[in-house]
Structure 1
Amino acid sequence: MYSNTESLAERLAAVKIDETHFKSKQLPIKAGNALPIAYGGFCIGFAVNAATATVPEGRHLYSILGQFLGPVSIEDHITCEVSSHRETRSFSSRQVRVFQQQPDGKNRMCLMILMDFRTLEPALLEYAPAPSMQYTEAEQCPTTQQIQDSLIARGEMTERGAKAFAQFMGPLQAFFETRQCPEGISAQNLTGIAKKLKTTQEHLPTTEKTSAEWVRCHKYDTPAASRFGNVGFMMDAGLSFLPLVHEHLFFDDTGACSTLEFAIRIWHPTPDLTTWHLRERKTINANGGLTYSEGRLWSQDKKTLVASMTQQCILRPRPVRPKKASL
């Protein structure tokens, strides 16, 4: 469905209609969701690229605050309207409203984002957190296919499960090379597909469990103008259902699992995802049908925090079917 030769920049391209309106060049992709709806990271990446096209050259994106307002179909393009809320010597602020035309011809707003850009300034202090544990280096980590083959060979996953994984997460592999860190939970249960499998983190509280992977865009995906959009696309992957992965659950155990609102902070002015980056994910809180999780992205030497993303998500239990009355 998605070509290995198509770059992420091409998939997320925002075609200019006029000074404030843009349309997606490509159709949205489906990934990371059990329902036939678009991957949220696609909408984020498209919106970021549209906003970036409206700010003065040399401004760097540092904050993305957004709310998903409804699902996006994979059958039609999306459009957006970009409005300026601040333009100074140091800062640019943009609000982006993303729409999709409905069968009745009306446009429905499905995402609203506030983004802030700035010019670079000298730093008074520089420090960064370290990953929660020592993870295996990228080149020594198994590929997703190797993990899958190993689980099947050990009888811990079926061919049916492998097919489900390919449909569920496969589209992302067309744009990113991923190496799961064996220390993380998602490497041990293949992002929750092998949900009954015991992991090496069973002794830890839920809030201390981690999943981690090395990621990089394919080498041909290098346009500087698309770097921020690429970060938005990638950071969204796997956060909404992370609590399921860490708690031996999957989508078939839920009634709903999707992102409501999010915050992405970009700490490096020129992120280049064509090099290896380490992403670690944790879930922080769950209560009242909501979950709160965070992903952090480090440079290959793990000394620079490149970006972070938090999400508040809906997580409903599977509806209980009423018992049929006996005669």
Structure 2
Amino acid sequence: MLGHFYGATRSSVPLDLKVTALRDTRGFATRQVIVSQPTTDIAGKTRTTSVILVDFIAKAQDRTMLSFSAQPRISPLTHHSKLQDMHEKLQIDAENGSIDKRKLAFMMPSFDLLNIWHNRYCPEGVLAQRSVGMRLDKETTQDSLPHAEKASYDWIQLREKLPLAHSTSKDDTGTLLPPTTSATSACLFAHFLDTWTSVVAPWWAKIGPEEAQVYATLDFALRFHVDELDAGQWHLREQTALAAGDERDHVQVGLWREGGEGKGEMKMVASMTQTCALKGP
């Protein structure tokens, strides 16, 4: 999936999706999706907010020749069974004075976007040590590293099981049955991998949103590396920054499925790269 953002999208205004079929073969189906919505200042006018290119790939037919995964940069990492959910941890930090209650209240609407997940930050990562951006001045165990070598980690698992039928066919009445677990998980992972990714590079450098005039994602590339996805299992996210300069920064996110009992090699199931605008006042 490749996408470009052309402007801010308002969640309170309906979206219009124009889908164009570009390719249909035995192995691939490619669709272009143009997303637009009505403007709030001029009646009857719409504007394009993003354009996305999506490739649907036929399921593998047991002809795989290679199978391996890159592993997280830091190992070992604290297991999710020994960690608290982010909301609980931040509330405790606010109560004991580790973080400012006003900052937490300001950030909570953004954190609430992840309420569907168990989300637990690993203390080895930069974002955990800086309270997810609320203590950018705090020293971390990675301060001696170049920005391109720093990393942040968090575990996720969907709070509710996916009660979905493993079918996308229609029933006798023509009603479309619920999407598959894999399709639903792909949508959920796409949203999660984008969360907090545009802020990685500036937060590594202790640059807060109040210091930048422009702070936004320009484009992204999301790739799934396995056919079967299940957001109900525990997964580990790694966030890293690749480069920055000329009013842009480039970041990368990896997502791994937990190995057996949290041990052994992990399987990378998805990765995302983004180019973000970062401009000073």
Separation in 1, partners of 2:99, 2:245: 31
Secondary structure in 1 matching 2:196:
coil
Alpha-carbon displacement from aligned partner over 1:128-164 (angstroms, at most 9, x marks no partner): 1010012111111232134324533553311112212
- By relative contact order (CA 8 Å, sep 6+), the higher-ranking structure is 1
Aligned residue number for residue 84 of structure 2: 142
Structure 1 residue 222 displacement after superposition:
4.7
Match of 2:224 in 1: 266
Shift of 1:249: 2.2
Per the alignment, residue 11 of structure 1 pairs with none
Mapping of 1:1-327 within 5 angstroms? Answer: 64-103=1-40, 104-119=43-58, 120-121=60-61, 122-134=63-75, 135-152=77-94, 155-172=97-114, 174-223=115-164, 224=180, 225-301=183-259, 303-317=266-280, 319=281
- C-alpha change, 1:212 and 1:181, in structure 2 (3 Å) is same
1:233 deviation in Å?
1.2
Cα distance in 2 between the residues matched to 1:213 and 1:272: 17
The 2-side partners of 1:303 and 1:148 are apart by 28
- TM-score, normalised relative to structure 1: 0.74
Identical columns (%): 28
Letter of the structure 1 residue corresponding to residue 196 of structure 2:
G
Task: Give how far 1:257 is off.
Answer: 0.6
Runs of 5+ unmatched residues, structure 1: 1-63, 320-327
Number of residues of Structure 1 aligned to a counterpart in Structure 2: 254
Aligned-residue offset at 1:213: 0.3
Q: Where in structure 2 are there 5+ consecutive unaligned residues? A: 165-179, 260-264
Cα pair distance change 1:200/1:149, threshold 3 Å? farther
SS of match in other structure, 1:160: helix
Secondary structure at the counterpart of residue 160 of structure 2: coil
Query: SS in structure 2 opposite 1:279?
Result: strand
Matching residue of 1:57: none
Could you give the per-residue CA deviations for residues 56-107 of structure 1, whole angstroms, max 9, x where no partner exists?
Answer: xxxxxxxx00100111112212120111111011111111111111132222
TM score, norm. by length of structure 2:
0.86
Contact preservation (8 Å) 1:67, 1:261: yes
> How much has 1:219 moved relative to structure 2?
2.0
CA RMSD of aligned residues (A): 1.5
Pick which of 87-96 and 137-146 moved more. 137-146
